[in-house]
């Protein structure tokens, strides 16, 4: 039997595409869902499907993979293609899949646009909207047309950039790939990735080597490359999936620091650096720092530290290089006290199998202990979030009793706080009674429904929750999903002022799909004297590792550990709770 070494990710992508094309062609929802469930199940497998099939494993025994998808997986692994998919690709324009990603559009409307207006992709849809043709179709109208135009920007940006965790995974693969190249002396990934931006538009790789040809030969062997765009003596550009570009440069050791500083950016930061150099009679570029009056004289460039030092600056962490405050008079102090991942002592937002989490209470506790935390709060959903099996008061109190029993076994070495992520209802009140909430150790309030309400309504709901005596924090305060859903319309100035007045926390949600608050809003909140809390919103034990992305946001915001609540030790956090919790 001929086995094609297709990855689980590639196989899952095939079934996701099948699901999209079937939905566009009007197939029943149960069949579409079977393909999506199968794709999810395959993507989560630890062992390669190709190896499992080769060893005779029956995939239909795996939850989420039915007999039909098991058979199709075998066909793909044995032949390298799927006839049904090829047939669907001929029948349904692939560009319509992009239309489905526009919030509020969906398969039926995407197909209707194709059938009535000949829309084939995002470009033709934008043209149809701008001509007013979409508004004229029955069931759409002017309001829908405007909404499509606004939401289209999200989809177009998403197709050009990688989320930070996806970029992280790509960098991990590249590092492993280059480990097999002894010609590399130094390697670093620069650009927006190194600055820890929430999305990455491309990757810049810097290398020092005595054999640039060997380095580029190794780069050309990276499996994900779809096209080599350009290759010279010291620079190579490639394109991988979804038109994402990676540029690699081999630089001289004496210029390593200057090149790293230059290609890390940001553009605005570098403009300020060059202006400062000019005022000191110096010139800065990617090759080094030179005497402006004698550009043959290299002043600095081997390390970033000496580049900044010769300009009279401390070394500036990449996350701060956005031309905001890194050049202020107190910059050295800010940099010295910048929060670090190891400063985090607790995680105060997570979910278990009691609602929509993947792991039990006990498993989440063990994983938190293993990750070095001193404490956590279990904050499953309240009853309004029925799609996630949200807890009513009886079930919540039952969970809290289980937490009390668990804490007795832990004997103080680690503590689990009894929490809840309580929904802020559309009309304004909280989802659970005050009598129930007063029994909690930690209450974080959030919005999951009514996100299209007016600015005044959304703001009023959040401010009322902040003012509630039982609430400690507001989770993912703007409700955004990066590249998928814009923030709801909320007056964050009013929210920050309320948080300051009532001494409540605002969350930096570390999930890479959210990163909410973002760096700018987090900085504004901290400036106003509001305490931040960085949480993973973990739905599985693997999600504790997401904490680093929240810390990256906090670092970009210039926060110190003192401005983040869960950097406090267990005893210090208990003291804070004692001062900010209402029991009667």
Provide the 8-state DSSP code for 504: -
* Segment holding 156, helix H or strand E: helix 141-158
Least confident of 226-240, 339-353, 447-461: 226-240
Confidence at 469, pLDDT banded by 50, 70, 90 = very high
In terms of DSSP bridges, do strands 162-163 and 202-209 run parallel, antiparallel, or are they unpaired?
Answer: unpaired
pLDDT of residue 420: 98
More confident residue, 566 or 12: 566
pLDDT of residue 431: 96
Model confidence pLDDT, tens digit, residues 61-79 = 887 898 999 999 999 988 8
Go through the domains of the chain in sequence order and give each one's CATH number: 8-158 (1.10.150.110), 162-250 (3.30.460.10), 256-336 (3.30.210.10), 341-580 (3.20.20.140)
Residue 6 DSSP SS3: coil
- Helix, strand, coil percent values for the chain (each to nearest 5): 50, 15, 35
User: Three-class SS string for 198-227?
Assistant: CEECEEEEEEEECCHHHHHHHHHCCCCCCE
Residue 250 phi, psi (nearest 5): -100, 120
* Structural contact between residues 348 and 376, judged by C-beta atoms closer than 8 angstroms: yes
Q: Is pLDDT of 242 > 70?
A: no
* Structural contact between residues 28 and 99, judged by C-beta atoms closer than 8 angstroms: no
pLDDT of residue 42: 85
> CB-based burial of residue 542 (10 Å sphere; 0-12 exposed, 13-18 middle, 19+ buried)?
exposed
Residue 465 DSSP SS3: helix
Least confident of 147-151, 451-455, 536-540: 147-151
* Segment holding 115, helix H or strand E: helix 106-117
Q: What is the mean pLDDT of residues 276-286?
A: 97
Distance between CA atoms of residues 28 and 26, nearest Å = 6
Model confidence pLDDT, tens digit, residues 538-557 = 999 999 999 999 999 999 99
Confidence at 4, pLDDT banded by 50, 70, 90 = low
Q: Is pLDDT of 243 > 80?
A: no
Please, which residues have CB within 8 angstroms of residue 296's CB and are 6 or more apart in sequence? 290
Distance between CA atoms of residues 495 and 478, nearest Å = 10
Residue 580 phi, psi (nearest 5): -125, 15
Report which of 68, 104, 88 is spatially closest to residue 24, judged by C-alpha positions: 88
* Structural contact between residues 253 and 206, judged by C-beta atoms closer than 8 angstroms: no
Confidence at 412, pLDDT banded by 50, 70, 90 = confident
Give one DSSP letter per residue of 433-460, joined into a string.
-HHHHTT-SEEEEE--S-TTS-HHHHHH
Q: Is pLDDT of 404 > 70?
A: yes
pLDDT of residue 231: 94
pLDDT of residue 46: 61
* Segment holding 577, helix H or strand E: helix 570-580
Query: What is the number of other CB atoms lying within 10 angstroms of the CB of residue 482?
Result: 21
Cis peptide before 43 (omega within 30 of 0): no
Confidence at 155, pLDDT banded by 50, 70, 90 = low
Integer-rounded Cα radius of gyration of the chain: 26
pTM of this prediction?
0.77
pLDDT of residue 154: 65
> In the block, which residue shows the tokens 């090829």?
86
Residue 87 DSSP SS3: helix
Distance between CA atoms of residues 470 and 582, nearest Å = 6
* Segment holding 552, helix H or strand E: helix 547-556
Report the percentage of the chain scoring pLDDT > 90: 71
pLDDT of residue 529: 98
Model confidence pLDDT, tens digit, residues 77-132 = 888 889 999 898 888 887 888 888 787 788 888 888 988 999 888 889 999 999 99
Taking CA 146 as the corner, what is the angle to CA 141 and CA 148, rounded to the nearest 5 degrees? 95
Residue 299 DSSP SS3: strand
pLDDT of residue 222: 94
pLDDT of residue 44: 66
Q: What is the mean pLDDT of residues 212-218?
A: 97
More confident residue, 18 or 563: 563
Query: What is the number of other CB atoms lying within 10 angstroms of the CB of residue 356?
Result: 15
Q: Is pLDDT of 501 > 70?
A: yes
In terms of DSSP bridges, do strands 202-209 and 473-474 run parallel, antiparallel, or are they unpaired?
Answer: unpaired
**Distance spanning both ends of the chain, measured CA to CA:** 71
Confidence at 484, pLDDT banded by 50, 70, 90 = confident
Provide the 8-state DSSP code for 22: H
Residue 203 phi, psi (nearest 5): -120, 135
> In the block, which residue shows the tokens 């209802």?
425
Q: What is the mean pLDDT of residues 429-439?
A: 97
Least confident of 23-32, 203-212, 259-268: 23-32
Q: What's the chain's average pLDDT?
A: 92
Confidence at 485, pLDDT banded by 50, 70, 90 = confident
Q: What is the mean pLDDT of residues 430-458?
A: 96
Between the CA atoms of 80, 82, 87 and 91, what dihedral angle is there, to the nearest 10 degrees?
Answer: -90
């Amino acid at each position: 039997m001929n086995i094609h070494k297709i990855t689980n990710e590639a196989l899952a992508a095939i079934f996701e595409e099948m699901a999209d094309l079937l939905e566009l062609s009007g197939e029943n929802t149960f069949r579409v869902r079977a393909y999506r469930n199968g794709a999810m199940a395959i993507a989560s497998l630890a062992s390669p499907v190709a190896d499992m099939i080769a060893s005779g494993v029956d995939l239909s025994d795996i939850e989420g993979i039915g007999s039909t998808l098991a058979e199709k997986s075998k066909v793909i692994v044995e032949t390298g293609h799927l006839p049904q998919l090829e047939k669907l690709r001929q029948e349904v324009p692939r560009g319509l899949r992009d239309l489905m990603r526009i919030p509020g559009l969906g398969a039926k409307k995407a197909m209707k646009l194709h059938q009535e207006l000949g829309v084939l992709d995002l470009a033709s849809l934008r043209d149809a909207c701008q001509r007013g043709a979409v508004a004229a179709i029955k069931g759409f109208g002017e309001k829908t047309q405007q909404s499509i135009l606004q939401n289209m920007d999200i989809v177009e940006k998403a197709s050009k950039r990688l989320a930070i965790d996806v970029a992280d995974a790509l960098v991990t693969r590249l590092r492993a790939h280059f480990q097999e190249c002894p010609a590399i002396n130094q390697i670093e990934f620069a650009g927006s990735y190194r600055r820890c931006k929430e999305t990455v538009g491309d990757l810049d790789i810097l290398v020092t080597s005595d054999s640039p040809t060997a380095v580029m030969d190794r780069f050309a062997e990276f499996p994900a490359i779809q096209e080599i765009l350009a290759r010279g003596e010291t620079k190579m550009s490639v394109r991988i999936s979804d038109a994402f570009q990676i540029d690699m440069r081999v630089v001289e050791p004496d210029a390593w620091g200057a090149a790293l500083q230059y290609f890390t950016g940001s553009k605005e930061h570098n403009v300020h650096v060059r202006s400062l150099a000019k005022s000191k009679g110096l010139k800065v570029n990617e090759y080094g720092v030179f005497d402006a009056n004698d550009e043959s004289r290299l002043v600095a460039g081997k390390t970033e530290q000496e580049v900044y030092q010769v300009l009279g600056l401390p070394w500036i962490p990449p996350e701060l290089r956005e031309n905001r405050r890194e050049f202020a008079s107190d910059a050295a102090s800010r940099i010295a006290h910048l929060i670090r991942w190891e400063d985090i002592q607790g995680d105060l937002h997570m979910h278990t199998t009691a609602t929509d989490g993947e792991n039990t209470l006990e498993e989440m506790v063990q994983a938190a202990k293993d990750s070095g935390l001193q404490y956590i709060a279990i904050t499953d959903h309240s009853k309004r979030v029925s799609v996630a099996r949200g807890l009513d008061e009886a079930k919540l109190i039952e969970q809290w009793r289980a937490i009390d029993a668990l804490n007795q076994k832990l004997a103080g070495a680690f503590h689990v706080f009894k929490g809840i992520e309580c929904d802020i209802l559309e009309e304004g009140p909280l989802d659970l009674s005050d009598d129930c909430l007063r029994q909690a150790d930690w209450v974080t309030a959030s919005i999951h429904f009514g996100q299209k309400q007016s600015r005044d309504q959304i703001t009023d709901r959040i401010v009322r929750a902040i003012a509630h005596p039982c609430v400690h924090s507001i989770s993912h305060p703007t409700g955004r999903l990066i590249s998928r859903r814009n923030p709801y319309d909320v007056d964050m100035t009013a929210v920050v002022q309320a948080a300051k007045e009532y001494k409540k926390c605002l969350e930096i949600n570390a999930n890479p799909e959210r990163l909410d608050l973002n760096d700018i809003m987090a900085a504004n909140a901290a400036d106003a004297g509001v305490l931040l809390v960085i949480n993973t919103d973990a739905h599985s034990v693997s999600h504790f590792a997401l904490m680093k992305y929240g810390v990256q946001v906090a670092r970009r915001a210039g926060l110190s550990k003192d401005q983040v609540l869960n950097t406090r030790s267990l005893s210090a956090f208990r003291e804070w709770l004692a001062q900010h919790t209402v029991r009667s």
